Chains A and B, each alone.
Chain A
Amino acid sequence: MLVAWRYRKRENSFIQSFDPRAWLIFYICCFISTLSFWDVRFLMPFLAIAIFVLLTSGVKWHEIRRAFLFIVFFIFFFAILTFLTGRGGSEVYEQEHLIREFRASFSILGWTPVLKVTIERAFFAVSQLVRYSCVAVMTILIPYSLNPALYGITFKGLGLPDKFAYAMDLTMRFIPTFGRDFQLTMDAQRARGYELDKISGGIIQQVRKLGPIFVPVTIHAIIGSEDIIDAMDLRAFGVGPRTWLDVLTYTTRDRFLIAAGVVLLVASIGISAMGFGAFWVPDALVRLFS
């Protein structure tokens, strides 16, 4: 049995009112455009688009809560980690202006922990937070909004041949299915006293002990494939050009959305190429701490 991503048809959903191909193209354009900038001022319009899409998606809070909180936690975690360590930011800025330095009152094996708070680190963390929030908000909506029944025809519509479109379609459909199978197998093995989190011994022992999880999930997937193969063979898969149950057709508003996405992308790349939108800190703050 296939388990789908958490999709359902939603009334008055802005995303679902478009052709999935048009929406994916717009999403990709938005995605790249967002990541063309580090300047918080340039990122704000993208954050506004992302929030608009979220609020008009028709996805209920209780549906998205777990995934949303998980992602928000990760975005904050990495932004704070970047702020504390300064890692990652050095590729974007070269000079740092110190606001304050906190030095620990203790040492560990001769090393004294030091936290340097600089303007660049602080603004880099904010930029990172905004950028990833824009991307995450729009990305998280895809599995909730894109009908799994349309994966194949969408890939086909984007130019892939039938067999590859169908293989990609199946791959995307199988990922949550096998994730569930893994969980079921692990629960079944736990009931028999197997604990994946507590495997011990040398490396060979540890690898060997992964077998009770690894082998059943894989072999079960292969056995299950026979039903799918039979069903596809019975429908003469691959004998001739494939017809799809659903037919996607672009409407005027889909073309408008694609055009808007492409214009946004071209404009963003152009602006970025002209040197605008790079990492920014307010001059007044720099002067203050110079």
Chain B
Amino acid sequence: MDKKFTNVLISLVVVLALFAVVMFVLGAQEPAEGALFNFSVDQASVVSRFVFVVIGIAIAFGVYFATKSNKAWEVGTREVVWMAIGAALYAVFSWLFNGTVFVVPSLSQVSLRPAIAIPMFFGYAFGPVVGFFTGAVGNMFGDALTGFGLSPQWSIGNGLIGFVSGMWMLFSDKKKSMDTVLYVSGALAVLATLLFFMNRGEANMLYFDVDNGIFGDAQISLFAGLAILIGFALIFGVRTFFKNEDVATAVTWGMLGNIVGLLFASLSDIVINGFSLAAAIVGEFLPAAGPNLIFAAILVPMLVVAYASTRRQSGR
């Protein structure tokens, strides 16, 4: 085995070990309100949750294995620092905008979670490894700071958001790959929306009622159910009408990352929590993925343009 392959393998094993420690050692408790970090994990389902962490990491490793000669996998000083910055920013923004520090009002059950733009942008700008670390570790620290407790498979799902956002680097034909991504994402968005119309009575399990401190009691609203199509339309608009190819790449791959990552996390709850397919897709996936696409379409372009401008000025 060559050195780079061994390094990546060791890195992924370390991430797995980190999750194992967090889930089995730190996670064996009820939510700890008031603690600085809260790493609680439901122990009744901890094994199946861990299996999904393994599956998520295996997906990342499979993609790496198929394209291991690509430069996108190199991890040097810059990547280490960007990983740390991305994870810290994601944790801080998640904490600030979770509804307990800044109570930004929800609109028809769609809470503002601008933090999700961070793993998408870091994945796009700095590659899949940085994106994965940013999403996974940032979400873990963000959850711990927030005090909601940990859902490790959702941390891996967030890692996959950043990971897939950086996968554009693995393709030589940027435009062709973007079109394929757009078709695949569009098809998944339409399928999920169809499932929503067939199951209008499902509860929005991600909706946090700030006033009552309660998760997931309200029936999913029409706007939350359709948010993924609205987000897709916005991204399609950015892709079609923006002449900036970097922006189009970032939002398109960010959209796929968002769909893949959150689909992975919500489907895992079928096994972990015994949810039905409808509950997982309509109750969890749509309320999370739909609004995220809206943030991707608006905040990611802002970051890409600002970053490009900074690079031009600094010459790096």
Inter-chain contacts of A77 with B (CB < 8 A): 33
1/0 per position for B103-145, CB-CB distance to A under 8 A? 1100100101010011001000000000001000110010001
B294 and A207 contact, CB distance less than 8 A: yes
- Docked-complex contact A174 and B88, CB < 8 angstroms: yes
Interface hit among B250-258, B262-270, B299-307: B299-307
Bound form: Cα–Cα A241–B306 in Å: 36
Per DSSP, chain A at the interface is helix
B91 interfacial by beta-carbon distance below 8 Å: yes
Q: Is B72 an interface residue (CB 8 A)?
A: no
In Å, the complex CA distance between A199 and B102 comes to 12
**In contact, B36 and A142 (Cβ under 8 angstroms):** yes
A28 touches B26 (CB 8 A): yes
CB pair B118–A175 under 8 Å, yes or no, is no
B25 & A28 in contact (Cβ 8 Å cutoff): yes
- Kindly state the separation between the CA atoms of A173 and B40 in the bound complex, as whole angstroms: 23
CB contacts (< 8 Å) of B30 on chain A: these are 35, 88, 131
Q: Let me know if A167 and B112 touch, CB within 8 A.
A: no
What separation, in Å, do the CA atoms of A62 and B25 have in the docked complex?
33
Q: Which B62-91 residues have a C-beta within 8 angstroms of A?
A: 75-78, 80-85, 87-89, 91
Pick the contact of B29: A35, A173, A197, A232 (CB < 8 A). Answer: A35
Contact present for A175 and B213 (CB under 8 Å)? no
Smallest Cβ distance from B92 to chain A, in angstroms?
5
Q: Are B298 and A221 in contact (CB under 8 A)?
A: no
* Contact indicator B81/A215 (Cβ below 8 Å): no
Cβ of A260 within 8 Å of any chain B Cβ, yes or no, is no
**Contact residues of B: prevailing secondary structure:** helix
Q: Which residues of A from 130 to 172 have beta carbons under 8 Å from B?
A: 131-132, 135-136, 139-140, 142-143, 159-161, 163-164, 166-172
Cβ–Cβ < 8 Å partners of A215 in chain B: 299, 302-303, 306
A168 contact from B26, B92, B137, B307, Cβ within 8 A = B137
- What chain B residues lie within 8 Å of A202 (beta carbons)? 107
B-chain residues with CB within 8 Å of residue A31 when the two chains form the complex: 26, 29
CB distance from B75 to the nearest CB of A (A): 7
Are A210 and B114 neighbours in the complex by a CB distance under 8 Å? Answer: yes
Least CB distance from A194 to B in Å reads 13
**Neighbouring A residues of B89 by C-beta, 8 Å:** 174, 178, 217-218, 221
Given contacts A81-B213, A131-B30, A196-B102, contact A222 B310 (CB under 8 A): yes
Set B81, B147, B298: member contacting A208, Cβ < 8 A: B298
What residues on B are CB-neighbors of A197 within 8 Å? 102-103
Number of interface residues of B (CB under 8 A): 65
Which among B35, B102, B137, B138 is the interface contact of A136 at CB below 8 angstroms? B35
CA–CA, A238 and B88, complex, Å = 21
A113 located at the interface, meaning its Cβ lies under 8 Å from any Cβ of chain B in the complex:
no
Inter-chain contact B81/A225, CB cutoff 8 Å? yes
B114 touches A214 (CB 8 A): yes
Q: Is B314 an interface residue (CB 8 A)?
A: yes
Q: Are B83 and A214 in touch, CB under 8 angstroms? A: no
Q: How far is the CB of A131 from chain B (nearest CB, A)?
A: 7
**Which one of A68-76, A115-123, A243-251, A281-289 contacts B?**
A68-76
Please, which residue of chain A has its CB at the minimum distance from the CB of B126?
Answer: A222
Q: Which of A216-230 contact B (CB under 8 A)?
A: 217-219, 221-223, 225-226, 228-229
- Check B52 for interface membership: any CB of A closer than 8 A: no
Interface status of B275 (Cβ within 8 A of chain A):
no
Which of A36, A174, A204, A238 is the one whose CB lies under 8 Å from B77? A238
Question: Which residues of the partner chain B approach A178 to less than 8 Å between Cβ atoms?
Answer: 88-89, 92
A-B contact pairs, 10 of them (CB 8 A): A74-B147, A142-B36, A168-B137, A173-B84, A196-B102, A204-B234, A215-B302, A219-B310, A221-B85, A223-B314
Closest 10 CB pairs of A and B: A35-B29, A170-B84, A174-B88, A71-B34, A74-B34, A139-B35, A136-B34, A78-B33, A171-B87, A178-B92
By a beta-carbon cutoff of 8 Å, the part of chain A in contact with chain B is 28, 31-32, 34-36, 70-72, 74-75, 77-78, 81, 87-88, 131-132, 135-136, 139-140, 142-143, 159-161, 163-164, 166-175, 177-179, 182, 196-197, 199, 202-204, 206-208, 210-211, 214-215, 217-219, 221-223, 225-226, 228-229, 232-233, 237-238
User: Can you name 19 extra interface pairs (CB under 8 A) apart from A71-B34, A132-B33, A160-B18?
Assistant: A32-B28, A35-B32, A87-B214, A131-B30, A161-B11, A171-B84, A171-B87, A175-B141, A182-B96, A197-B102, A203-B107, A203-B294, A206-B112, A210-B112, A222-B307, A223-B310, A228-B81, A233-B77, A238-B76
